[in-house]
Structure 1
Amino acid sequence: MNRSSRGKFPSPFEVAVPLGCEGWQRLYPYYHVFSEERRTSEESRFWFADRIHHAEPLYPFDAIICEAIWVALSQYNTRVFVMPSALGIDQRIVNGYLYLSPNPVTDPALIEQRAEHFRRRAGYYFEHWDELYEQWLRKTRAHIESLEAIEIRDLPELEAEAVVTEGQGVASGYHLLEAYNRTIENLLKIWQYHFEMLNLGYAAYLTFLEFCKQAFPGISDQTVAQMVSGTDLLLFRPDDELRKLARLAIALDIGPVLKQATSLSKILADLEETENGRQWCSALDEAKQPWFNFSTGTGFYHHDRSWIDDLSFPFVALRSYIEKLEQGGNIERPLDAIRGERDRITTEYAQLVKNDEDRKVFAELLNLARTVYPYVENHNFFVEHWHHTVFWQKMREFGKILVHHGFIASTDDIFFLNRYEIQAALYDLIAAWSVGTDARGPRIWPDEIEHRRRIYHGFRRSPPPPALGTPPESITDPLLIMLWGITQETVINWLGIESAEGEQRELKGCAASPGIVEGPVRIINRTEQLNEVQPGEILVCPVTSPSWAPVFSRIKATVSDVGGVMCHAAIVSREYGLPAVVGTGFGTRLLKTGQRIRVNGDSGTVQILS
């Protein structure tokens, strides 16, 4: 681990290159890496590793997601809604890992000038939130349908005669290039939609939080969060579908078939042999679209396969639900209890407000926070999960074409090329096909991909420092605070742990969901490890994925390396009534599976007991 010195994190220009990874910068676009031309500026700023979305190194192509976020997130802050104290969030890649740097506004006069624009523009969205959200849903669904409709076809030996007899005027080479460009443009546009309302959602919640902090000195962040919890979020729908399928399996008496210790294909084949089994399979097919377009990871990496690609993950959760029902257990989320606690807390604090004007402001801000809250989570299903499931499938179709023509050895090798290189490879293929000669790509890309594969594995063996550069004087971006959990306290905590000598007995983070429990640790770094989680354990992970929701019925608490009070781990923990401490920075490095810890979701601390 890199050591901090003089209250600073390592310079981005001093981070050692892993052995065998020299020249790694060429894997990514020139503007996405640190450079001597911008050294003075880059070295003076604060950069933190985006481990909430990108806990793993970036494949060259997968970095397109980062690029889409880079522009979409920042433009809404800087140019569209004009956030008063926050501009965009810059990006750089170091040894394959993504680092972010917030760009704050510090001039009071400029802040006030920007505030005038923000009040008018954001106010319009807040006043028309419900209708704009319905419009958002329509255009996002239509956009996913347009991606699904893109036809990706290999180049034929000869064009069909219809190209001549119908006077079409264009041939297959153009269609292939057009399909690629449309696929890339579709991805970039969905991220424009993604951030259309998200930053406003966080801003509204942060405004409510700040009011509560001022009106109720000493109130905790998670108490404020509890006032907007208990919402029937769309992102829980896939897990709800699994629960429905489990109850149906019990009703149809096919639980034993679904729990067979055999292949999934054999189980599904056995189910088709009976009327009850066919009825259940029909319900499964109905649930798949769209709810099984649900990534097992963040959805930002091509290897985050979705439930619809591989049914083994949801079936593990399904079997656990069936077993619990067979034992007479309850598999429902404790929504009524959570809503009851939400209403109790809200009523108590509302009664503490004595001033009529303040009481009105409290009610208005609470209502706005509850109105925008569902979007903060629900948009994830449409973009990161449903859309990206289709997007990665489309990219594999291009990969199959490049395999067929000898450019790459296997379909997923396409992700070792960045988006510009893929377009160049396709044009190389199209040009050679047009002329009737050999393309250059098959002679260069297979060896280059093997070299890049070795570089990528070198990245994985070298975990990144949590932050780089100079700590900021202030952090004002609502997205950084609410989602990433990056605050002044977080930075000071990171510096303290980085420079601390000896064994750590306590971790500090964001108090994300209330409650205090003790239990054994289960470290989970990858989705495929989730089957190892035992009932009563405490999940410790870099970050959770929405598709991990079924595991929350087995654990006692959650501890994550990254995240703020509105990150997914925090939200899902509150909705399941589990204590959570997020944004510890080093939980997965300092804790070990089997250790006993005490998680205090009220104070945001994790004590190591053994």
Structure 2
Amino acid sequence: MSESTAVATATATARNSFPSPYEQAPPAGAEGWKDLYAYNLVFQDDRREVEESKFWFCDSQHWPTVTKPFETIGFEFAVGCLGQYNARQLLIPTANGIEYRIHNGYVFMSPVAVDPEHIEARVPEFMKRAGHYFENWDSLLQNWHGKLRSTIAEIEALDFTALPDAIPLEDVLSGKGTSPATEFLENYDRLISLAYRAWQYHFEFLNLGYVAYLDLFMFCKELFPRIPDQAIATMVQGVDMELFRPDDELKKLAKIAVRDGLTGLFEDTSDAEGTLAAIAAHASGSAWTQAWNDAQDPWFNFTTGNGFYAHDQYWRDVPAIPLGFIKGYIQRLQDGADIDRHVDELVAERDRITSEYAELLDGDALATFHGKLGLARVVYPYVENHNFYIEHWTMGVFWRKARQLSAVLHEAGFWPEANDMFYLRRDEVREVLFDYVNGWMVGAPAIGPSRWPAEIERRRGIIDALSTARPQPALNTPPEVITEPFTLMLWGITDDQIQNWLGKGDTPEGTLKGMAASPGIAEGRARVISSADQLFEVQEGEILVAPVTAPSWGPIFGKIRATVTDIGGMMSHAAIVCREYGMPAVTGTGTASVQITTGQRLRVDGNTGTVQLLDD
């Protein structure tokens, strides 16, 4: 997450450490914010010495905005499962899990080091466990798809409806012996447990994908000490990724609309129902309507966010979003633009770079290089593809069911607005359900409607107040050297970046320094956005500047010249997507979305990781 102007100003003066979480007061109106979260998720006063001894960084790449109490399920499940696969399942020699805390509403993380004395003993165990997956990747991944689709179907089958006035007669006469209240409680428990199961599956392959790439990366650095990081990344680019399929479906629909003379029906895509009805009624609209229906499941289970927030909007639920993107593609096609992503060019560049370095090797070194590269290319697609299946598809169904539950309790008087359940922790929701069920069972009013509306308004005010302040990029004193591989590759938290955040870098005035995430140089006017709601403001030829991007922003990548983000490493979604679109990108700048304003001219150098402000 980009910092506030105050934070950005503070980094201009060199310092040796970041603020302690114990020395940062919450914004006005957010007093008492810790009470909203579970005790283990916040910095406790009696643990100050322990917590201040650790370095924490803000994971605004995945949680860019304040997290409401129910939404902590995202990082509790995701980061917990990441750690489980590192420390307990795969026994990765140099990487355990990552601790996490909420501070002033934002998510902070601290990697857990492996005791150096244990590294050697973990190597053979890791080789047996990871080796089995690498040797049987295709069959195990096929099994993974089956397990995950089954889990999604189980979540989809859950249903939350208001309890009836009386138990159905057929249930009584059949001797069923239980009531709808039983299923109501069971469905909530299953909703949570199925989401947790899906996150277990999420990391079954992901960490191995990172490990294989990191193994290639370290091998290349050993053989070619001066090889650029981007050259290694280029060696695995140009793969067929399912994460791009939703965007490809939009392009196909735009082409059909142009071919069949339907373009005039896309004037007002905000009226999705009217637009779809007009197309269906058109004499030439059947092919487009069929293609639209075919794309819905699964490819329109795609969020404009990242899947971790209850307010994320999904294409399937809000058809005006994909229709708006299709309208944009239609306009570009009519202007004679090429909207296709040319994978053949990426593959050609990939093969050229690979051959140049391979020609420098022979014997065992060449064989090892080809072996490591071959494995990385096999596993690399999962690093992005999983994102569609878990964050987008699974979580889209999860949030849809959670909103259905919240609406039932809203109708029962527990809270003033349909989605107010998300201001409660999931354990509190369980208490509310017992209250609701118990009132129904005994024929008396539940207690919650007299308690929760006022409490939710208090919490809403706190969340709104927390949202007025941006977080620090990090907390406490950083280590002398960042070595944890995932911190480096995924989040881009490098030694140089930390020095920049501390105001100790050697970057010239008027220039921002980040990670050289995708090669190329581009100049243009900045378009600064902070959410998907602003995507339709992006104009042709602009440079996108954002705290972080989402994979579903693909439809605007054909319009922009480059991308700049506040956080992210070489293996972040923004970096990977930009490389696959052949677009310059600088990630991990820390403050770009605050220091740059829309309309400024920028020069983005994705080869060196610099962003030059050409005017004010």
Assess same fold via TM > 0.5: yes
Aligned residues: 606
Residue 25 of structure 1 is matched in structure 2 by: 34
Which residue of 2 is the match for residue 430 of structure 1? 437
* 1:180 aligned residue: 188
Which of the residues 527, 544, 547 maps onto 1:539? 544
CA RMSD, 1 decimal: 1.6
1:523 aligns to 2:532 (yes or no)? no
**Alignment-derived partner of residue 311 in structure 1:** 319
**CA-CA distance at 1:120 after TM superposition:** 1.7
1:511 matched to 2:516: yes
The range that moved more, 231-240 or 436-445, is 436-445
Counterpart-to-counterpart distance in 1, 2:229 and 2:143: 32
Match of 2:605 among 588, 600, 603: 600
| CA distance, structure 1, for counterparts of residue 95 and residue 608 of structure 2 | 28
Q: Is the 8 A contact 1:199 1:478 kept in 2?
A: no
Which residue pairs with 1:562 in the alignment? 567
* 2:497–2:514 contact (8 Å) kept in structure 1: yes
Question: What residue in structure 2 maps to residue 241 of structure 1?
Answer: 249
Q: Distance in 2 between matches of 1:149 and 1:472?
A: 48
Q: CA deviation at 1:473?
A: 3.6
Where do 1:321-336 residues align within 5 Å? 321-336=329-344
1:588 aligns with 2:587: no
Deviations 1:27-63 (A, max 9, x none): 1111111102322211100001110000000011111
CA–CA distance in structure 1, aligned partners of residues 163 and 509 of structure 2? 60
1:206 alignment partner in structure 2: 214
Matched, 1:455 2:462: yes
Amino acid at match of 1:69: A
Matched with 1:227 is 235
TM-superposed CA distance for 1:253, in Å, is 1.2
- Partner letter of residue 296 of structure 2? K
Name the counterpart of 2:307.
299
Deviations 1:353-393 (A, max 9, x none): 2x411111110111111011100000010100001111111
What is residue 361 of structure 1 aligned with on the other side?
Answer: 368
1:251-290 alignment, distance < 5 Å: 251-260=259-268, 263-290=271-298
Asked if the contact 2:568/2:588 (under 8 Å) is kept, the reply is yes
Letter in 2 for 1:62: E
2:73 aligned with 1:64, yes or no? yes
Amino acid at match of 1:393: R
1:76–1:199: 8 Å Cα contact kept in structure 2? yes
Residue type of the partner of 1:217? P
Match for residue 11 of structure 1?
Answer: 20
Contact 2:269 2:327 in 1 (8 A): no
CA gap of 1:261–1:281, structure 2 versus 1, over 3 A, is closer
1:104 is paired with a residue of what secondary structure? coil
- Paired with 1:262 and 1:591, the residues of 2 have a C-alpha distance of 30
Instruction: Give 1:383's match in structure 2, choosing from 384, 390, 400.
Output: 390
- Residue 475 of structure 1 deviates from its aligned partner by 3.1
Q: What is the letter of the counterpart of residue 202 of structure 2?
A: H
TM superposition shift of 1:225 = 0.5
The verdict on how the C-alpha distance between 1:553 and 1:6 changes in structure 2, with shifts beyond 3 A counting, is: closer
Provide the secondary structure at the position in 2 that maps to 1:180.
helix
Question: Identity across aligned pairs (percent)?
Answer: 48
SS at match of 1:558: strand
Say which of 120, 123, 134 aligns to 1:126: 134
Is 1:550 aligned to 2:555, yes or no? Answer: yes
Residues 335-359 of structure 1: per-residue CA shift (max 9 Å, x gap): 1111111111111111012x41111
Q: Which amino acid letter does the alignment assign opposite residue 67 of structure 1?
A: E
1:440 aligns with 2:415: no
The 2-side partners of 1:275 and 1:386 are apart by 33
Shift of the 577–262 alpha-carbon distance from structure 1 to 2, 3 Å rule, reads: closer
AA aligned opposite 1:103: V
Cα distance between partner residues in 2 of 1:303 and 1:222: 35
Q: Distance in 2 between matches of 1:103 and 1:209?
A: 22
Q: Spell out, residue by residue over 1:558-604, the C-alpha distance to the aligned partner (whole angstroms, 9 max, x if none).
A: 00101111111111111111100111111101111111111111111
Q: State the alpha-carbon separation in 2 of the partners of residues 407 and 554 from structure 1.
A: 46
Provide the secondary structure at the position in 2 that maps to 1:19. Answer: coil
Show the 5 A alignment for 1:143-162: 143-162=151-170
Structure 2 runs not aligned, ≥5 long: 1-5
**Superposed displacement of residue 526, structure 1:** 0.7
* Alpha-carbon distance, 1:324 to partner: 2.0
Are the aligned partners of 1:494 and 1:585 in contact in 2 as well (CA < 8 Å)?
yes
The Cα shift of 1:488 comes to 2.0
Match of 1:77 in 2: 86
Deviation, structure 1 residue 217: 2.1
Compute the TM-score of the two structures, normalised by the length of structure 2: 0.96
Deviation at 1:264, TM superposition (A): 2.4
Query: Secondary structure in 1 aligned to 2:598?
Result: coil
Gaps (5+ residues) in structure 1? none
Determine helix, strand or coil for the equivalent of 1:297.
coil
Quote the Cα distance in structure 2 between the aligned partners of 1:257 and 1:566: 40
| TM norm structure 1 | 0.97
Alpha-carbon deviations, 1:88-141, whole Å to 9, x = none? 10000011100000011252x311112221122111111111111111111111
In structure 2, the residue matched to 1:487 is: 494
Give 1:423's aligned amino acid. Answer: R
Quick check: 1:394 aligned with 2:401?
A: yes
Alpha-carbon offset, residue 278 of structure 1: 3.0
Amino acid at match of 2:262: I
TM-superposed CA distance for 1:69, in Å, is 1.4
Q: Supply the distance in 2 between the matched residues of 1:264 and 1:36 (Cα, whole angstroms).
A: 52
Corresponding residue for 2:3? none
1:52 to 38, 58, 61: 61
Aligned partners of 1:104 and 1:476 also within 8 Å: no
AA paired with 1:553?
G
Residue 502 of structure 2 aligns to a residue whose secondary structure is helix
